[in-house]
Amino acid sequence: MQRSTWFWILGVGLVLLLACGGFVGLGLWAANTFGEGRNMSLGFGDAIAIVRVEGTIVPGEAPPPNPFVGGSAGGAYSQTIVDHLKDADENDNVKAVVLFVDSPGGSVFASDEIYLQIKEMHKPIITAMGSVAASGGYYISAPTDEIWASPHTFTCSIGVIMQLVNVEGFAEEYGITTVVVKSGQFKDIGNPFREVTDADQEILQSLVDEAYDGFVKIVAEGRGMTEAEVREIADGRVCSGTQAKEMNLVDNLGYLPDVIDRAAELGGLGNEPRIIEYTENASFVETLSAAFYHPGPIDELRQVLHFNAGSPLMYLYTGQ
């Protein structure tokens, strides 16, 4: 067979392969866009919106999802959640919002961003707790109109944690030395290559205490309790949904369908209300590129490091 014939066959095969990939990407994009996506759902009329907070709470916007993997990129991104809450509040068809929280908490900054948006909501908003809604997960639940948890939900964990890594001994063992040039005594506070001094500890503790005081105040306001009452149980302990209800930290025990029914009642809707799920949809180009993208080890490491970047001050339950 002549060489030109082989080139012609390979060219046709490549065109067919690209066409198939395009049709797959187009189908996935259409399913995302016209299904129950960020701003659309099948059907018309009044509805209940579900906004999900799943995974560790981190600052910023969620990257586009991979349609072949499904779900988010492994965290609850505060700006994305804030945008979803705003969209639901501004959507005339949405009569009530369910905040589904399945999170051990996370960044103090990111948790507060979500909290502030919830405080601005004009529509009824109810928390449905999943398997875990602890620390920052509880922080964002506190201002909602009602909190529902499963009897087996891990929640509470009201408190603040800061964890710093010290590798001084490791560096000495392997002959690693560091040179620090700084403008002030505390400029390298938290430096992993030296011990935390008593003076450092005092400064860091003041930051933790300040964030803790804010947490206590928010719980007290949201639950109609005094700050003294909250402090009695805000020692970082994790508790079950049943225990949280006994401590007035949860209103009712139930699961997501129960919360949807309650939200429909508050929103003046009948049985089996229409549901709008607020999720991130990829564009056609993003969907098609994601279909052929396979992250390498360096990319995966970069994603892991992203979650540990920024302030180490956390509303986080670390028992998972």
* Residues labelled as active-site residues: 135, 187
Whole-angstrom distance, CA of residue 266 vs CA of residue 13: 58
Backbone angles phi, psi at 306, to 5 degrees: -60, -40
- Ramachandran sector of residue 21 (left: φ over 0; alpha: ψ -120 to 50; beta: rest): alpha
Q: CA-CA distance, 232 to 72, in Å (whole number)? A: 37
Phi and psi for 238 in degrees, rounded to 5? Answer: -90, 150
CA separation for the pair 160, 107 (Å, rounded): 10
**Which stretches does DSSP call E strand in 31-190?**
47-54, 57-58, 76-77, 94-103, 105-107, 125-134, 146-149, 154-156, 161-162
Structure tokens at 227: 């700050």
Greatest alpha-carbon span in the chain: 88
Nearest to 238 by CA among 158, 137, 160, 151: 158
